[in-house]
Structure 1
Amino acid sequence: MCGIALIVSGIRLELSALLLHLHSTPQALTSEQLVFSIDDLKAALRRRGPDSLGSKKLFLHHPRVSCPLQILSFVEGQRVVENEEFGSQQIGEGTYCFPSENGRTSEVPNSAAELHFIGATLQLRGTSPIVQPLIDASRNILVYNGEIYGGLHIGSDENDTEVLLQTLEKCCSCNSHLNNRICHCDERGKLSVVDVLSTLKGPWAIIYWQDRTRTLWFGRDAFGRRSLLVHWPTVEDPRFLLSSVSPISSIEQSSDFEAENGTTNLRFWEELPCGIYSITVACPVHDGFMVGEVKKHEWTDAMLEELIKWERNCVEPKPEDLHASRCKIKTLRGQNGMHSALSDILPCEAAPIQASVPVAAESVLFALRESVRRRSSLHTIFQADTCGVQKDLVPVAVLFSGGLDSMILAALLHECLDISYEIDLLNVSFDGQTAPDRISARAGVKELKSIIPSRKWKLVEINSDLSTLTFETKHVMSLISPANTYMDLNIGIALWLAAGGDGWVYEGHSSSNYCQRIKYKSKARILLVGSGADEQCAGYGRHRTKFRQGSWVGLHEEMKLDMQRIWKRNLGRDDRCIADNGREARFPFLDEDVIKLLLDIPLWEVADLNQPSGAGDKKILREVAQLLGLYEAATLPKRAIQFGSRIARESNRKNFGSNRAANQASAGSVVISTKSGVH
């Protein structure tokens, strides 16, 4: 999809139950007051290039006011007023008017609270366009940003959001969640809202008004693969806000120095912790405010609970386990006759496997293949957009460094996408052709072409100079917020530029000494990203450190910590930076089935950090790469995008004077403040 937002005013929130659940305190706004308007949020979402942008304003009245609930709809310049009693009518700009009993119009009655929903839709599924927010016959309102790959059946001609709204309309409305009572509606064939959301597979963020219970539901999936920021009410700003992204206008309101450095809104927003939340608006009114208690609900799907706990049964190997595992990989590497494990799908381009290979790696290959297929199958892409379009359309691209993870995704995408389509490989560099990621990307494309010559691969080389990115840096600061370190900024800029897909491609054949450099901008709306591979397969340097300090148990605990905080450290930030370019990030390594499978595999089969870098780290993914015939990629060491693109080096020189000074200051973790700034 694209993005969602909500502004709630006139409701006093009771947060005590939530604070007990989260064991933390929502951040208070300690800097100057920031004023976000509905137009600011719309502008931030409109930047993402949605196919449609709409909003609905819901008015809640005091119980003493005898007036039906009113909903105002706004769709790209036109306003539609919907009234429970009188139906709907279009009105022009100006005063909001409603029909009265005598047929005349009247002003909107004084309301105790307002809820303003905004939905921006990048349509990627279904056969007809939709405009969010959606409202059903029961006057429930939904804005949804996500994809559904399981848990709820979505037909090949259906849209996720529409099907989800239909399902939620059938949910129980007994309000058992208010007092933690057991819901018995399932005995009558009804599920709760929590039940429905708990079973969804795929990334999502949601805001849903259940009218019958006067309950606002909101939340994000268990791994935080879709961004959702929250502003809890403060003395300075008593509104409750949710948004997929922070508006850049907050920076423009600040002083000249702060505006230049983009630092003022860092404490206004926070990442909403993963989970399902509700606010039921009660009738009592205190000081002119309605009252709503915020509650966080437990997931009701047993498998999802297991994935969140991220516990592995087999952590510490016996000596014979390690010996057997290492013998298997030696056998696999010694198979000179094996070309690719794709022979069953592409018999003309791959030779059969000539000897036994690790069963675990084959299982992971199968799970990853299905994960990529779910995220790239054309029947799940907005069909009205692809019908009759020429076959050179690029529906899916890969964030591409030429490293292990992106090479696996590129090879699997080839399997899942019709051979007539091109595949764009987006690569960013801050050091021209000499950046490590540019060198490995070119080598990676060469390897892909050697084993899959029938596919047209396009390496999109995106070159940038950090010293010229003044406005862009300020803008990316708003995107990464509330993340606020130099490392976050470096990663954010690199991701934002790469996802923009605006670079150069080389056309022609090097063998004929004719190769033309052509300006090119990718039109792909879906971007496959390798996030989650390092966390689950021990790809970071700190994993090796923990292994040396605490052996296998220490390694497992560090990987568990990474997976349980990935929503806060990585995914929200990355989703915002990529979505700003009108593309949707999809994370095949974070598919629920892939996560479960990797947890079921003994840790020493996933990684063996007794082995050197480029072998023992992410061992199972290296085996998967070899099954795909990617022998060169299978030996590449891990390299983070900020180092591979060399933006970290340029940032260190720009902001600290030298790499040495930056290292001494631990520059990556330094918080960008008005004292240090982004020079």
Structure 2
Amino acid sequence: MCGIALIISGVRIDLSSLLPDTTIRSFPSQETESILFSVDDIKTALRRRGPDSLGSKSIFLHTDDERTLQSALEEEKEPIKESNRVLNYTLFGKLIFVGATLQLRGVYPITQPLVDKSGNILVYNGEVFGGIEVNSDSNDTEILMQSLNKCCSCISHEHEDTCGNGKYSVPEILSKIKGPWALIYWQESSKTIWFGRDAIGRRSLVVHWPSSKDSRFILSSVSPPSAIDELNFWEELPCGVYSLAMSASKMDEKLVGKVKRHNWTDPLLEDLIKWERTFVEPKPEDLTESDKMFSSEHRGNLHQKVLAALKESVRRRTIFSEIHLSNSPVAVLFSGGLDSMILAALLNQCLDPKFEIDLLNVSFDGELAPDRISAKAGLKELRKIAPLRTWNLVEIDAELSKMTLEMKHVLSLINPSNTYMDLNIGIALWLAAGGDGYVSQKINEKNNSKCQLDKYKSDSRILLVGSGADEQCAGYGRHRTKFRETSWGGLNEEMKLDMQRIWKRNLGRDDRCIADNGKEGRFPFLDEDVIRILLDIPLWEIVDLRQPSGLGDKKILREVAKMLGLNEAAVLPKRAIQFGSRIARESNRKNYGSNRAANQASAGTAFIHPL
């Protein structure tokens, strides 16, 4: 939806259940508390994302003479001040919620944070594509708020044993959601903060645990630029649901917030997290040509299932309210390679023909970059299968040597990621998502057709991205190396490792870089149903790395491409965006003098020096 944040001050944070060697992170007194940035700095970072609205709400926590914890909601325009009323309270702390909304669903505009009649507060950055019923004209954040309002106040994992009222717990509601999300929710009845991100990690949420550098507890979709020089200030919040229950300390005159992590309650979701495949090691007969006649029909059914699941995933991700969008509401991060071609072809099938489709392509070597060459070839192939659709190939050119200020900004966006590879990918994604480039237009001068480049800026608010395809279908070079060294079992373990760390290595970083341009990144290959179907298919039907590049890697997706009529794209080799756009080459030359020197220094995984 856009971005969220929470800043807590005046409360001691008990992390003992998360970090066994840690008990309570103590705060200094509010008079001496040092901070690296203000709430306004976070608002500024979120405002860059071009939200339709941005708001904040504050809660003031205190106890009465009987040490009962109470809360008072303060309006944004009425900041909390010390008064006679406040000074009479024994304990106090402050919680500030910030919500920025990019309105894509619902007929009527909303402003976050949402506050209901019970005093509950919600800031939500995500989409509900299933699990909770949302009508086409409804806003999913409002529907989620209504569902959370009906939850019991239990913090226990086994709430049914202690509650017994038939209500859902907060973790049960959040486990139902299909789609990407990050959330912060204040449950007034239990004086508890609930927070977390979806099980795959498709929405960014970084956390700062209280420290000597900054004594506050902070959650945010993005880091303010002022925190760029502080190493290890932020962490990517691990996927999951967390609670922070507030209580008055019996030991002294302080408030304490105890953090707990909760299990997902949906067994199917737990299975996705474990990423266990039933059929890994093929029998000899599974790989022989003698069963070819029998297996072709079976394989055809598998390909149909994957194609149907991907199409439904793309359809879910083209849900929007037309009153909020432009003539080209959905764009594709486009290299002309296998993954982006599949997404573009499926988007054509799901999107009303009246809409144009922007294909966003970035190059750091003009017309010579591999991704620019394949993008132009891909455009021709798309026009063959969908000649009536208006396709806009947006050519975005950049020179790394002229991007000093932009690099500093992107460095703050990728934080806490901090390698040159992260920065290269981040810059390429950030520029591509910006959509500021040129589109080739045909002109007719006395019957001689010519092309001219016209300035064009994509105003699509939804961007389809191919993340997850390589991890699930063995598209990386290291997968081929692992298969050569350890055969099918080792390959499966490498793919499993990729999927279980994608939230930390890729998705948070990518979400932040895309969202900074006022766009919402959506990842069809990481749809829960797509992941489940790919896991149910034998590994040797997903990939066969005995075959050469362009055939065996991502084998099943190549078959899907053929079914979509994308015969040329179906045989293209894998190229990562940093190599296809040639930003990695330019970065190596800038920072190391040459590609050879960069390779010798393992530049891709090297930590970034101050810019």
Distance 1:549 1:25, change over 3 A: farther
* Unpaired stretches in structure 2, ≥5 consecutive residues: 27-33
Kindly indicate whether the alpha-carbon contact (under 8 Å) linking 1:124 and 1:382 is maintained by their aligned counterparts in 2. Answer: yes
Distance 1:330 1:309, change over 3 A: closer
RMSD of aligned residue pairs (Cα, Å): 2.5
Paired residue for 2:154, among 170, 174, 185?
Answer: 174
TM-score, normalised relative to structure 2 = 0.94
How far did 1:452 drift?
1.2
Kindly indicate whether the alpha-carbon contact (under 8 Å) linking 1:266 and 1:484 is maintained by their aligned counterparts in 2. Answer: no
CA distance in 1 between counterparts of 2:581 and 2:295 reads: 32
Deviations along 1:543-599, one digit per CA (max 9) or x if unpaired, are 011101110000000000000000000000000000000000000000000000000
CA distance in 2 between counterparts of 1:560 and 1:356 reads: 25
Deviations along 1:321-366, one digit per CA (max 9) or x if unpaired, are 12359947997xxxxxxxxxxxxxxxxxxxxxxx996211111000
Paired residue for 1:70, among 66, 69, 72?
Answer: 72
Which residue pairs with 1:563 in the alignment? 499
1:333-412 map, 5 Å: 358-377=300-319, 381-386=320-325, 393-412=327-346
Distance 1:131 1:544, change over 3 A: same
Which residue pairs with 2:112 in the alignment? 132
Kindly indicate whether the alpha-carbon contact (under 8 Å) linking 2:154 and 2:169 is maintained by their aligned counterparts in 1. Answer: no
1:403-482 map, 5 Å: 403-482=337-416
Distance 1:548 1:197, change over 3 A: same
Distance 1:169 1:466, change over 3 A: same
CA distance in 2 between counterparts of 1:506 and 1:369 reads: 29
SS in structure 1 of the partner of residue 585 of structure 2: helix
CA distance in 1 between counterparts of 2:520 and 2:573 reads: 28
CA distance in 2 between counterparts of 1:486 and 1:535 reads: 21
Which residue pairs with 1:314 in the alignment? 279
Paired residue for 1:634, among 570, 582, 603?
Answer: 570
How far did 1:184 drift?
4.2
The percentage of aligned residue pairs carrying the same residue is 64
How far did 1:281 drift?
0.7
Quick check: 1:200 aligned with 2:190? no
CA distance in 1 between counterparts of 2:601 and 2:271 reads: 39
Q: Which residue identity is paired with 1:363?
A: K
CA distance in 2 between counterparts of 1:40 and 1:485 reads: 24
Q: Which residue identity is paired with 2:178?
A: K
Distance 1:513 1:327, change over 3 A: farther
Distance 1:527 1:140, change over 3 A: same
Kindly indicate whether the alpha-carbon contact (under 8 Å) linking 2:12 and 2:25 is maintained by their aligned counterparts in 1. Answer: no
Quick check: 1:248 aligned with 2:192? no
How far did 1:97 drift?
9.7
Deviations along 1:189-233, one digit per CA (max 9) or x if unpaired, are 310000000111000000001010011100000010000000001
CA distance in 2 between counterparts of 1:401 and 1:416 reads: 20
Paired residue for 2:531, among 592, 595, 600?
Answer: 595
Distance 1:325 1:572, change over 3 A: farther
Kindly indicate whether the alpha-carbon contact (under 8 Å) linking 1:328 and 1:357 is maintained by their aligned counterparts in 2. Answer: no
TM-score, normalised relative to structure 1 = 0.85
How far did 1:107 drift?
7.1
CA distance in 2 between counterparts of 1:68 and 1:229 reads: 28
SS in structure 2 of the partner of residue 415 of structure 1: helix
Q: Which residue identity is paired with 1:374?
A: R
How far did 1:69 drift?
2.8
Distance 1:202 1:108, change over 3 A: farther
Which residue pairs with 2:518 in the alignment? 582
Which residue pairs with 2:549 in the alignment? 613
Paired residue for 1:539, among 472, 475, 482?
Answer: 475
CA distance in 2 between counterparts of 1:585 and 1:27 reads: 35
How far did 1:57 drift?
0.5
Quick check: 1:156 aligned with 2:157? no
Q: Which residue identity is paired with 2:160?
A: C
How far did 1:27 drift?
12
Paired residue for 2:599, among 663, 666, 670?
Answer: 663
Distance 1:213 1:27, change over 3 A: closer
Which residue pairs with 2:208 in the alignment? 231
Which residue pairs with 1:297 in the alignment? 262
CA distance in 2 between counterparts of 1:205 and 1:488 reads: 22
Distance 1:356 1:321, change over 3 A: closer
SS in structure 1 of the partner of residue 485 of structure 2: helix
How far did 1:265 drift?
2.9
Distance 1:528 1:213, change over 3 A: same
Paired residue for 1:210, among 184, 187, 190?
Answer: 187
